[in-house]
Amino acid sequence: MRALLTTRRGGHSAAPYDGFNLGTHVGDRPADVAANRALLQTALPAAPCWLDQVHGVDVADADCAHGVPVADAAVARRPGVVCAVMTADCLPVLFSDDAGTVVAAAHAGWRGLAAGVLEATVARMAVPPAHILAWLGPAIGPAAFEVGDEVRAAFVSADAGAASAFRPAGTSGKWLADLFQLARRRLAAMGVMHVHGGDTCTYSDAARFYSYRRDGATGRFASLIWREDHA
């Protein structure tokens, strides 16, 4: 199994997308995005299974996907098939089973996380959760992610213990949410206990990462995973 995380460093995009923007939907020059994707391709065994991410729970089968599936996660079992998600504050989660037979990538913004995108991804992997490893990539951190009462309610209504992932923001009806903790709770509830990462904030690291909350008009970086072909 191999994984790769891009940053905003390098690449061909001009401000405010500088420099290694991989998103085709953010207003960047198409030629610059194409050049960035071509550069990324040199580090991969095949073209990634890019997704049309809609903050939902659908999981694409990257092994037989055509075009750009409308989904927020992808699963692959064939060696060399690359699962990928793009983010700029939402939480990317990469998965593999401990035997290296199946990999997956999920895009978990708060809407998808609350709706069950991680649960849907683990279900599609079709291996015992105790044998799954998960990695939480860079996302907006708990000191920066201010949300309203409706976001807190979306999690606490399903899991009273999720209240521990929210603290008052100092403004009435506003909370600071910990996406990493919320994801860990969801994973633990399924029996996924081997969880790594979850310590890098996109909002506070402008040199390396895009952040929609920080910048508005901005690019997207990618988290990618694939099985290696050992034949």
- pLDDT by residue (tens digit) across 124-148? 999 999 999 999 999 999 999 999 9
Kindly tell me if the per-residue pLDDT of 27 is higher than 80. yes
Calpha distance 61→35 (Å, rounded): 26
**Span 2-139+201-226 CATH architecture:** 4-Layer Sandwich (3.60)
The position carrying tokens 């994707």 is 37
Give the distance, in angstroms, between the CA of residue 192 and the centroid of all CA atoms in the same chain: 17
pLDDT of residue 170: 84
pLDDT above 70 coverage of the chain, percent: 99
216 torsion bin: left (phi>0), alpha (psi -120 to 50), beta (else): left
* pTM to 2 decimal places: 0.95
Residue type, 57: V
Q: Are 117 and 110 in contact (CB under 8 A)?
A: no
pLDDT of residue 230: 61
Residue 2's H or E segment, with its range, is strand 2-5
Residue 32's H or E segment, with its range, is helix 30-41
Q: Are 152 and 177 in contact (CB under 8 A)?
A: yes
Cβ-based neighbour number of residue 144 at 10 Å: 17
- CA quadruple 60, 64, 68, 74: dihedral, nearest 10: 30
Calpha distance 64→67 (Å, rounded): 10
The band of 171, judged by pLDDT with boundaries at 50, 70 and 90, is confident
